[in-house]
Amino acid sequence: MIKPHGAETLTPLYVSDDAERAELTKEAEQLPSVLLSSGAAASAVMLASGYFTPLTGYMNISAATSVASDMKLPNGLFWPVPVMNIVPSEQLTDAVKNSDRISLRDPNVEGNPPLAILKVSAIETLSTEQKQLLIEKTFGTTDPEHPGVPAYADVGDNVLSGPIDVLNYSYFREDFPDTFRTAVEIRKDIEARGWDTVVAFQTRNPMHRAHEELCKIAQREVNADGILIHMLLGKLKPGDIPGAVRDASIRAMVQHYFPENTVSITGYGFDMLYAGPREALLHAVFRQNCGASHFIVGRDHAGAGDYYGAFEAQEIFDTIPEDALEIGIFRGDFTVWCKKCNDIVMMRDCPHGGDDYFNVSGTKQREILAAGEPLPPEIARPEVAEILMEYYQSEADA
């Protein structure tokens, strides 16, 4: 199986020993504390799960700036996106400033229980110029209307860095018990299935017909034993479809339209960045760490609005060193319904064009559903359409 990124084995930061975890949880209740942002909490879950291997905690400003500017950690290892814990000034009480261990409280669980303990390496303040650099390099824009920019711009200026011990997986285990899996668990599952070559598909949306066919095409072309459908379960922008609905629709599609034991349906606990090309690179790191040999990067991967070109998220892989990642990249083209082929096709593989094509996209799917109209069979399988239409109808009636 493919090695984790920058390591021989995964380095999950979840405290797996029950007695040790209980003791640390008790300690965390007594320590000075800060309330994490949703993004920093999600990063703690990713660190706990092994997806951020080989990181050991939150980056300081120097490391984050190196990653933003050059996509390298201070030790030279490739890393595409800063992983930071930024808090507002009102959280920096004297107790926090004077403690070498602090409790990190979860903003997404009622009562804000401790999520992790931070061994404080540094408490620093971001300058305006440093924050602008981090945002510009990560998102390619500083536009406050970009759905990911506020996650950096509006959470404060104080950076708390250092290694962490993670005490739980936030709300993900409870809310998605059949879907949330750590990178450690996915590797074990791939091994148990006897899969060698595995192609991974990232999604924050229900899978429409084009997604389905893209997975099948990629599986055929790389001769994969199985497909890892790996959905983001964290926070999304307004208008995106909730995780539970997405999960149900994907399971219905796989049950009816994929051969048995060719698909693993899983999810991970991260908030969407909508960082386009940089996030595509981060997604590749995640999939290498969970054992996939190939990763699908499609049109407008991890994008939002018109901030990125259709294939920028593929082109960025041509700009990084050849040895930066071990995982192979499968590049998807525009995927459409061709009336003459009477099937979903990638445009690069089809001899037809123009009026022969019906565009199949997540945006189009959401527009039709929001208008209260039925999804045509060219866009969605009927079993999937039924689940999505029921959700949109319930929203309209609310």
Q: Which residue in 60, 85, 158, 205 is the catalytic one?
A: 205
Q: Are 278 and 152 in contact (CB under 8 A)?
A: no
DSSP string for 184-199:
HHHHHHHHHHT-SSEE
Q: Give strand pairing partners of 125.
A: 158
Neighbouring C-beta atoms of residue 264, cutoff 10 Å:
21
Contacts of 390 (CB under 8 A, 6+ apart): none
Half-sphere exposure of 396 (CA within 13 A, CB side): 11
* DSSP annotation string for 181-234: --HHHHHHHHHHHT-SSEEEEEESS---HHHHHHHHHHHHHHT-SEEEEEEE-S
Query: Looking at beta carbons, which pairs linking 387-392 to residues 24 or more positions away fall under 8 Å?
Result: 387/206, 387/245, 387/248, 387/249, 387/252, 388/206, 388/241, 388/245, 388/249, 391/241, 391/242, 391/245
- DSSP letters spanning 19-47: HHHHHHHHHHHHS-EEEPPHHHHHHHHHH
Catalytic residue among 105, 181, 187, 204: 204
205 catalytic residue (yes or no): yes
CA distance 203 to 313: 14
The single residue listed with the structure tokens 């960025």 is 316
Q: Which residues 6+ apart lie within 8 Å of 97 measured at CB?
A: 123
Query: How many residues make up the chain in this entry?
Result: 398
- Active site residue ranges: 204-205
